[in-house]
Amino acid sequence: MTTLEELIQNVQAWGDEKNITGPHGKATILGQLKKTQEELTETRDEAVIMLNAKHQEAYNEARERFKVELGDQLVTLILLAKLSGVTIAECLSLAHEKIKDRTGVMKDGVFVKDK
């Protein structure tokens, strides 16, 4: 099985090959954020289809598309991190530090942090 680090390296190499990132890269940070937003919307759309499925087969099909869209988000974030000169691991570590002691409550299916 491919490790997460290998997958990240593969995505970064793909971004370089497609001139998104790398020495000839043409992507911008704001452009990449726009792409991430597009992928987020597509992921949400698949989640809605999945959660409204009337039978197991429709649910399973939407779930597979949801996983692909979630992966597409990760691709855009990996490339965004590279464009920004940071790593996904660094960003995740900082985010974990920020949230690890956070308190709050669940409200309408969403964690709402205490102020």
Whole-number percent of the chain with pLDDT over 70:
100
Q: pLDDT of 38-48, one tens digit each?
A: 999 999 999 99
Q: Which class for 41: exposed (0-12), middle (13-18), buried (19 or more C-beta within 10 A)?
A: exposed
Q: pLDDT of 47-90, one tens digit each?
A: 999 999 999 999 999 999 999 999 999 999 999 999 999 999 99
Q: What is the maximum span of the chain, computed from C-alpha positions, in angstroms?
A: 49
Separation of alpha carbons 13 and 23, rounded Å: 12
Other Cβ atoms less than 10 A from the Cβ of 87: the count is 14
Other Cβ atoms less than 10 A from the Cβ of 106: the count is 8
**Domains observed in the chain:** 4-113 (1.10.287.1080)
Q: Which residues pair with 106 in a beta bridge?
A: 111
Q: Work out whether the CA dihedral 82, 88, 48, 58 comes out positive or negative.
A: positive
pLDDT at 54: 96
